[in-house]
Structure 1
């Protein structure tokens, strides 16, 4: 595998994890939003990713095959009922005095952000390792 492929794999992983952290941050930012532009309550989103095939599939495809990179294939909305809080004085309260808030678990969103951060850092480490190997190869080849 050439070094450009190693850099591309790390960059693709970093892009996916950045999107995952961005979406979790958006969910956290809207945890107390009572209305969206469409008039309903905010629904949390989850990133759907598509992973590359396993090692066996890559070996069967041969060295000439392009490496399939991981990527985000879309965002799905979590269809959970709203969290209803009794706030009769709130301008968005219904006839019974309840306000609909999104069903967002702030702890789960924080864990998602932490996991995405760690995976992002792991991808940076893999790119750094590939860079170091490329530099060492240049030193070895340049010494002749």
Structure 2
């Protein structure tokens, strides 16, 4: 068995979850941002994983025959959500009625996303450590002759 595939799958999973954490942190950090550098309001973003993940049996057959694991394609896209209107007549970006348009970041949804990304990252670390332990044990067994 080629353990590099197991390492690659875990590494890809950790990379995706790290990106989810970064995007979630960016969304939360900009919850109160009325304008960006370009003068436009901040739009929340999300990580989208594109992957025509085949059935487990197909993946297993590919790995068993010496192939490589199919890794997902990841992109970040801007969410098209309506801004939150907050009454703050003294704010420099308030409109004529006194409302300020803040990004439509869903705080609770972002926290759920954060928690899920952390747990998934941890699961990938556990899988990586299990593959590492199996590789070490195989080396110990094979080296004893």
Corresponding residue for residue 121 of structure 1: 122
State the Cα RMSD in Å. Answer: 1.6
Q: Aligned-pair distance for 1:95?
A: 1.6
Corresponding residue for residue 54 of structure 2: 53
Q: Aligned-pair distance for 1:122?
A: 0.5
Q: Which runs of 4+ in 1 moved over 3 A?
A: 59-62
Q: Gapped runs of 5+ residues in structure 1? A: none
Q: What is the total number of aligned residue pairs between the two structures?
A: 143
Corresponding residue for residue 7 of structure 1: 7
- For the 8 Å contact 1:49–1:70, the answer to whether it is kept is yes
SS in 1 for 2:130: helix
Q: Distance in 1 between matches of 2:130 and 2:73?
A: 22
Corresponding residue for residue 95 of structure 2: 94
Deviates further, 50-59 or 34-43: 50-59
Deviates further, 45-54 or 55-64: 55-64
Q: Aligned-pair distance for 1:94?
A: 1.1
Corresponding residue for residue 109 of structure 2: 108
Spell out, residue by residue over 1:84-108, the C-alpha distance to the aligned partner (whole angstroms, 9 max, x if none): 1111111011122110001111111
